Structure 1
Amino acid sequence: MIPQEKCEAVTRGLREAFGVSKFEDISKLTGGHTSSLVFRIVVGGSPYVLKIITRTEDPTRHYTSMKAAAEAGVAPRVWYTSIEDRISITDFVEAKPLAISEALIKLPALLRTLHALPPFGRAPFNTTCTFLLNKGPALDGFLQKFRTDNILPKAESEEFFARYTEVAAVYPYDDGEMVSSHNDVFKPDNVLFDGQRVWLVDWEAAFLNDRYADLAVLANHVVTNDDEETVYLQEYFGATPDRYQRARFHLMQQLAHLFYSMVFLSLGSAGQPVDWSRAVPGFDDYHRRMWAREVDLADNDVRLTYGRVHWERVVQNVRQARYKEALRIVSQPEPTAKVIALRSL
């Protein structure tokens, strides 16, 4: 099950972590759709996660971020890492269902602790919705390809670029809000509940990012109305959110909808025409299914649906008065807008 060329490296890890050369049991873990090889192993009667990164990039930032998160109680305990071998061993979390009502409280508190950590490193390439704020050749090329592929009908394509330009023009991508972020919480498989505590796993995408990116993306799964949003943001900020915080959060949500529309429509279409006559499920219902692990984004048809779900949501949102008000507030923040210092819980 373990590639032959990695057997010696895994043995080294077992010896350093546990003083043994063999595990008692092994099974492959397939959740999360990572390109890495992930296994549940049993050593000394206890389960652990063995992860072998198959890509060639340097995992230093990944392991450094994961260790810092583990020390803060955000990620499972780290027993071993090897940058050279691209191998890690961590505690295994026996996941249990987490009710949405409970997640509404626990998840923003977890993000608050994570975002208060000393700054993670910056990534050479942004894989999150704030990629749309990183002006330069990479973004220009991605946007140009999306336009020329004609995935969206003409009117919708014009709408996409108009709304993107509108948000990007006012959203402040500033160092003051850059924090240590997970950046892959749109996947429910990366949020594990053991019956008492919530853990974040799969730290390959962790880097320094705008705090509202994690907040907005995770909210897709648990926030369905204004009252829930107030509870969610209050748990994060430790106080009732002010107008500026709400506005910035709202605009990041729209940026995320645009980003996931573009990415998953591109992936799902695979160069083929999209059937726009097919109905798509509602945003909240679809994310409830995702939270229940009923949605597999490895399938191209599912990717198309996911992209369209986000597109329908952003089209609805930008026609509401709140969107225009958020653009105004963020573009002209009041001098008295407060900045709340976040501390670990």
Structure 2
Amino acid sequence: MIPETKKPAINHALQVTFGTTDLEETRELTAGLSSALVFRIIVRGKPYLLRIITRTDAMADPTLEYNCMKAAAEAGIAPKVWYANVEDRIAIIDFIDAKPFPMEEAKTKLPYLLKRLHALPPFPFRINYLDKIAEFIEKFRAGNLIPDELTAGLFNFYTRVKNIYPRNAEDLVGCHNDLKPENTLFDGERVWLVDWEAAFLNDRYLDLAIMANFLVKNEEDEKIYLEAYFGQEAAEYQHARFFLMRQILHLFYFVVFTMAGKTPNKPVDSNMAMPGFREFHDLIWTGKLSLANMDNRLQYAQIHREQLQHNLGLKRLDEALLIVANYQSLSRNR
């Protein structure tokens, strides 16, 4: 269960933290898409989470991950960190016994929690999110995964929005960047954010857009959601930024989950039967559907493609692009 090569380092962590190496119980947790090995352990009668980083690619940065996690824990946003060793890539944190999270309660608690997260001292810079999407698009196109006629309009939108979307410093904050339901744990009273491997300095609207896939179902939800985050009724410009980032996220998820769900010698079926956008996200929220399944990943990609394709025909898209572009122009001329 626990890799033999990691046992000496884990025993050291346990001895330093708890004065014992005795694990009364060890159970691997497999929910989520993280490459880390995650275990629920019991030490001296109390449950903890043992997390072992296994990634070795360019985006794997244990120092950044642990620093972001500790900052969030000190602010009461993440569970308490008992031990974190960068060299060994091992962390031990409080285990959160997650309860079902009522959607109506989440609509206000989660944006308020994001407001607290984004108020922390800024996380270190890792990548420019908008520029990184361009790299994924190039990989996607090189793979010839889906006919060009189904993607040309989407990628044209990306070029258009990238040219006008703001990159102002005041909206670059410490972001979690991976706010799926399994990383937002509700203990019955409080919400905790876990799994900080994707955290870095980013546009605040990305975190807001990720959670909105689950929580914002209509314009009224959007008003409540953004008001909870900003502490007052959101301005026209804030609604426009939020709407554009949601479309950028649809594109990103379409590209990334198509590549992640593609299996060798099996073409991507762009006409596959699948639930609607809202139904699919409700199933993820309630734990009835997992993106660990390759077919589900492909469905998820196509759902985001269809949602973006629909939204590209809305009058609101042109209005949002104009509002943001005009705001940027006015800001430069002040």
Q: In structure 2, what is the equivalent of residue 232 of structure 1?
A: 225
Using the size of structure 2 for normalisation, the TM-score is 0.94
Residue type matched to 1:257 in 2? H
- Report if the CA contact (8 A) 1:120-1:208 is conserved: yes
Q: In structure 2, what is the equivalent of residue 222 of structure 1?
A: 215
Which residue of 82, 93, 102 corresponds with 1:90? 93
CA distance in 2, matches of 1:206, 1:81: 16
Q: In the TM superposition, what are the counterparts of 1:177-216 in structure 2 within 5 Å?
A: 177-185=171-179, 187-216=180-209
1:259 aligns with 2:252: yes
How far did residue 245 of structure 1 move? 0.3
1:320 aligns with 2:314: yes
Residue type matched to 1:69 in 2? A
Superimposed CA distance per residue, residues 148-194 of structure 1 (whole angstroms, 9 cap, x where no aligned partner): 33323332221121111111111112222100111111x21111000
1:17 aligns with 2:11: no
Superimposed CA distance per residue, residues 78-136 of structure 1 (whole angstroms, 9 cap, x where no aligned partner): 1111111111000000000001111001100110000000011122xx4xxx63x22xx
Give structure 1 regions of 4+ aligned residues with deviation exceeding 4 angstroms: 138-141, 334-337
Residue type matched to 2:23 in 1? F
- What is the SS of the residue equivalent to 2:151? helix
Q: In the TM superposition, what are the counterparts of 1:40-189 in structure 2 within 5 Å?
A: 40-56=40-56, 57-123=60-126, 126=127, 131=129, 133-134=130-131, 141-185=135-179, 187-189=180-182
How far did residue 140 of structure 1 move? 5.0
CA distance in 2, matches of 1:35, 1:153: 31
- What is the SS of the residue equivalent to 1:234? helix
CA distance in 2, matches of 1:213, 1:284: 19
Aligned residue pairs: how many?
A: 327
CA distance in 2, matches of 1:111, 1:139: 23
Using the size of structure 1 for normalisation, the TM-score is 0.91
Question: What is the Cα-based RMSD across aligned positions, in Å?
Answer: 1.7
Residue type matched to 1:110 in 2? L
Residue type matched to 1:247 in 2? A
Report the CA distance shift for 1:117/1:313 in structure 2 as closer, same or farther (over 3 A): same
Residue type matched to 1:149 in 2? G
Q: In structure 2, what is the equivalent of residue 343 of structure 1?
A: none
- Report if the CA contact (8 A) 1:260-1:310 is conserved: yes
How far did residue 141 of structure 1 move? 4.6
CA distance in 2, matches of 1:58, 1:236: 29
Report the CA distance shift for 1:334/1:64 in structure 2 as closer, same or farther (over 3 A): closer
How far did residue 278 of structure 1 move? 2.3
Report the CA distance shift for 1:140/1:205 in structure 2 as closer, same or farther (over 3 A): closer
How far did residue 51 of structure 1 move? 0.7
